[in-house]
């Protein structure tokens, strides 16, 4: 699908710290978990950045930073900007 | 419709809303558009409310919702995204670039990068909990309020009043061994208040600096081992101050499952400050005995948490938390938050202690306390302890520190093994009565009884095994005489 050989979407846990990407889908286990992710602002279509992978997953969405455990981080399907970690525009939309 | 603020959810969702609106004719606490939106997002509560309100139209409504449910992406997601974008536009209109604070950034990084984050965490806990809450709260302030104010002023005054104006049983109710002033109030205000008061101050300080979520995220992995999320670090550390208070705070955990596990662990293997102080006094002179106590209680904590995690049904704990930037705390905020929490403590917990002393007084008047004590003699002897220790264990139920205090009086006549066994069993043994009362209030009678029913045999079994194990080891190594 990618025009410039962008890597296919994969769970957030697959990408290195510093990556920017767009949330493509949420593989939530149930409605309650989906509602939780949405309430946190983790919504398909939103751009985020992975700040840290340990001791916990820390992501930045707009002005908000969120800490997530492995279980929740794995449910976020992320399409990274083409060469992961290079693009640096904090353009949301 | 709404005159001011409105989010446009796009033609598909707006179409569904337009079809739902004419069907919603019932009486709702908020706008019908909001009802329609909640229905489309699959909110169960509002669906039940609509079912009650809309009578014959329910089927049609359900059909529309079902149609929307088949959309991809699901309506909940589309609605959330539309709101997120709207919020973004508003924010962009009024906010500049985020402030860049180099020092804040560095500190921020240091408190998150594991090689520095964990030492910082240890320092925060050492100074905050051990030195500030443990030193200032549990020692200096308790000595002053309980040791000075109560011993020299309040208690003598209550005793004098009771002796002058009341007949003996009522005088006891006010100022006897289990009196509401001499036990209930003294305990709630003289012993627990300084501990939870300093804890609340420390807690509010951490909250105001933005450090608290870091504490939770650093503890998350360890907490998962006992079926809890990082959030549980707050009630668990509070438990080292007062388990009764901590049991109330388990409310902050997300699921009932986590609340039950935390309540259970607090009751079983988290010693409160009163208990901790006396156990340290009791075993402090023998590093070996103290080491055994820490090892056994720690192992039981991990094993019990792990087992509870395996056995209890329901989804595993997940952790998420917003991570605010670190900032300088504002004294006014800290004072206000601390005051609000102390007020809450006084209103919610003081009555529990007063009620506890009322019950104890009643049992004592009826001679029931003695009856229970004699029933306990058998199990106590099986732990290798003198039968006199039965009274201590019973008191330990009513007030954990009373148990340990009684043990302190007996320490001269007990061997190191007996002391270690007794201290370990008392730590694990049933929570104090106030904690049990709060367990019933927070978790319900059934869960509370189940927890107690597990704890009592576990405590005795561990004590029994420890006694035999240490006995055999002593025979080999000569530990027994000392």
Q: Where are the domains of chain B?
A: 10-94, 111-271+324-344
The verdict on a CB contact (< 8 Å) between B323 and A40 is no
Between residues B22 and B272, which one has the greater pLDDT? B22
* Rounded CA separation A28/B199 (Å): 37
pLDDT at position A69 over 90? yes
Distance from CA of B26 to the nearest CA of A (A): 26
* pLDDT confidence bin for B257, thresholds 50/70/90: very high
Q: What is the pLDDT of residue A6?
A: 63
* Token pair of B71 as six digits: 């959309």
Number of alpha carbons in the 13 Å side-chain half-sphere of residue A72: 25
* pLDDT confidence bin for B16, thresholds 50/70/90: very high
Q: What is the pLDDT of residue B391?
A: 74
Q: Is the CB of residue B76 less than 8 Å away from at least one CB of chain A?
A: yes
List, in order, residues 6 or more apart from B40 with CB less than 8 Å away.
Answer: B13, B16, B17, B20, B65, B68, B75, B76, B79
Average confidence (pLDDT) over B252-273: 92
Tell me the pLDDT of chain B averaged across its residues: 86
* pLDDT confidence bin for B39, thresholds 50/70/90: very high
**Percent of residues, chain B, with pLDDT higher than 70:** 93
Handedness of CA A41, A44, A48, A53 (dihedral sign): positive
Strand, helix or coil for residue A89: coil
Range of the domain at A44: 10-80
Q: Is the CB of residue B427 less than 8 Å away from at least one CB of chain A?
A: no
pLDDT at position A74 over 90? yes
DSSP string, B257-298: HHHHHHHHHHHHH---HHHHHHHHHHHTT-HHHHHHHHHHHH
* Rounded CA separation B14/A70 (Å): 36
Choose from A18, A67, A77 for mutation: most chain B CBs within 10 A.
A67
Distance from CA of A92 to the nearest CA of B (A): 8
Average confidence (pLDDT) over B176-201: 85
Torsion angle in degrees (nearest 10) through CA of B145, B151, B157, B162 = 120
B249: part of which helix (H) or strand (E)?
helix B243-249
Domain assignment present for residue A1? The answer is no
Distance from CA of A34 to the nearest CA of B (A): 9
List, in order, residues 6 or more apart from B417 with CB less than 8 Å away.
Answer: B384, B467, B470, B471, B474, B479, B480
List, in order, residues 6 or more apart from B79 with CB less than 8 Å away.
Answer: B9, B13, B37, B40, B41
The verdict on a CB contact (< 8 Å) between B81 and A45 is yes
* Rounded CA separation B422/B383 (Å): 8
* Token pair of B400 as six digits: 């954990």
Q: What is the pLDDT of residue B357?
A: 83
pLDDT (tens digit per residue) in B389-448? 777 777 666 655 566 666 677 777 888 888 899 889 988 986 777 888 899 999 999 999
Could you count the other beta carbons within 10 Å of the beta carbon of residue A85? 16
- Kindly list the residues from chain A whose CB atom is less than 8 angstroms away from the CB atom of residue B84: 41, 43, 46
- Kindly list the residues from chain A whose CB atom is less than 8 angstroms away from the CB atom of residue B13: none
The region of weakest confidence among B35-49, B308-322, B372-386 is B372-386
Strand, helix or coil for residue A26: strand
Nearest 5°: phi and psi at B277?
A: -60, -45
ipTM of the predicted assembly exceeds 0.85: no
Number of alpha carbons in the 13 Å side-chain half-sphere of residue B157: 8
The verdict on a CB contact (< 8 Å) between B81 and A46 is yes
CATH code of A68's domain: 2.30.30.90
Strand, helix or coil for residue B101: coil
Could you count the other beta carbons within 10 Å of the beta carbon of residue A84? 18
User: If one looks up domain B10-94 in CATH, what number appears?
Assistant: 1.10.287
pLDDT (tens digit per residue) in B147-172? 899 889 998 999 898 888 888 888 88
Between residues B309 and A81, which one has the greater pLDDT? B309
The verdict on a CB contact (< 8 Å) between A40 and B320 is yes
pLDDT at position B305 over 50? yes
Number of alpha carbons in the 13 Å side-chain half-sphere of residue B428: 28
Angle at the Cα of B201 (from B200 to B204), degrees rounded to 5? Answer: 80
Distance from CA of A67 to the nearest CA of B (A): 5
Number of domains in chain A: 1
Average confidence (pLDDT) over B311-331: 90
Edge-to-edge order in the sheet of strand A57-61: A10-11, A76-80, A20-26, A47-52, A57-61, A64-68, B320-322
Q: Is the CB of residue B251 less than 8 Å away from at least one CB of chain A?
A: no
Q: What is the pLDDT of residue B399?
A: 58
- Kindly list the residues from chain A whose CB atom is less than 8 angstroms away from the CB atom of residue B97: none
Between residues B413 and B271, which one has the greater pLDDT? B271
Q: What is the pLDDT of residue A53?
A: 93
* pLDDT confidence bin for A51, thresholds 50/70/90: very high
Q: How many CB pairs under 8 A join A and B?
A: 87
- Kindly list the residues from chain B whose CB atom is less than 8 angstroms away from the CB atom of residue A34: 74, 76-77
* pLDDT confidence bin for A5, thresholds 50/70/90: low
Q: Measured between CB atoms, which of B76, B88, B220 is closest to A69?
A: B220
């Amino acid at each position: 699908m990618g025009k410039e050989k962008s890597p296919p979407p994969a769970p957030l846990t697959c990408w290195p710290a510093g990556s920017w990407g767009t949330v493509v889908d949420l593989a939530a286990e149930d409605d309650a978990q989906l509602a939780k992710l949405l309430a946190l602002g983790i919504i398909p279509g939103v751009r985020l950045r992975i700040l840290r992978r340990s001791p916990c997953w820390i992501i930045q969405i707009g002005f908000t930073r969120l800490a997530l455990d492995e279980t929740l981080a794995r449910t976020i399907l992320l399409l990274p900007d083409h060469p992961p970690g290079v693009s640096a525009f904090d353009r949301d939309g | 419709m709404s005159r001011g603020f409105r989010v446009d959810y796009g033609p598909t969702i707006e179409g569904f809303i337009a079809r739902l609106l004419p069907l919603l004719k019932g009486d709702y606490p908020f706008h019908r558009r909001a009802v329609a939106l909640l229905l489309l997002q699959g909110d169960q509560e509002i669906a039940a409310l609509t079912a009650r309100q809309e009578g014959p139209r329910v089927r049609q409504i359900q059909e529309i919702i079902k149609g929307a449910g088949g959309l991809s992406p699901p309506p909940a997601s589309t609605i959330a995204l539309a709101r997120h974008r709207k919020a973004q536009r508003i924010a962009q209109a009024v906010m500049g670039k985020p402030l860049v604070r180099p020092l804040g950034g560095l500190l921020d990084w240091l408190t998150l990068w594991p090689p520095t984050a964990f030492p910082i965490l240890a320092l925060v806990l050492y100074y905050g909990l051990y030195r500030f809450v443990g030193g200032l709260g549990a020692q200096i302030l308790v000595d002053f309020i309980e040791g000075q104010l109560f011993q020299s002023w309040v208690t003598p005054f209550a005793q004098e009043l009771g002796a002058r104006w009341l007949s003996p049983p009522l005088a006891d109710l006010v100022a006897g061994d289990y009196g509401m002033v001499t036990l209930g109030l003294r305990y709630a205000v003289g012993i627990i208040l300084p501990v939870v008061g300093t804890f609340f101050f420390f807690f509010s300080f951490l909250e105001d600096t933005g450090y608290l979520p870091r504490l939770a995220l650093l503890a998350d992995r360890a907490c998962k081992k006992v079926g809890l999320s990082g959030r549980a670090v707050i009630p668990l550390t509070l438990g080292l101050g007062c388990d009764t208070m901590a049991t109330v705070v388990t409310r902050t955990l997300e699921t009932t499952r986590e609340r039950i596990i935390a309540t259970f662990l607090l009751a079983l293997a988290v010693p409160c400050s009163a208990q901790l102080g006396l156990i340290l006094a009791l075993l402090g002179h023998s590093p070996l005995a103290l080491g055994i106590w820490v090892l056994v209680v720690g192992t039981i904590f991990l094993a019990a948490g792990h087992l509870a995690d395996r056995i209890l049904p329901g989804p595993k704990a997940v952790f998420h938390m917003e991570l605010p930037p670190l900032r300088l705390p504002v004294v006014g905020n800290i004072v206000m938050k601390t005051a609000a929490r102390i007020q809450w403590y006084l209103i919610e917990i003081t009555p529990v202690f007063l009620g506890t002393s009322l019950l104890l007084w009643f049992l004592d008047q009826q001679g029931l306390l003695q009856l229970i004590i004699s029933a306990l003699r058998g199990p106590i002897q099986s732990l290798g302890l003198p039968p006199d220790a039965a009274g201590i264990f019973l008191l330990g139920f009513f007030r954990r520190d009373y148990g340990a205090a009684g043990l302190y009086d007996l320490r001269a006549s007990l061997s190191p093994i007996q002391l270690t066994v007794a201290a370990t069993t008392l730590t694990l043994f049933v929570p104090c009565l106030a904690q049990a009362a709060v367990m019933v209030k927070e978790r319900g009678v059934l869960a509370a009884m189940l927890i107690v029913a597990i704890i009592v045999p576990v405590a005795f079994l561990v004590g029994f095994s420890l006694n035999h194990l240490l006995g055999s080891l002593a025979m080999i190594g000569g530990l027994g005489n000392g």
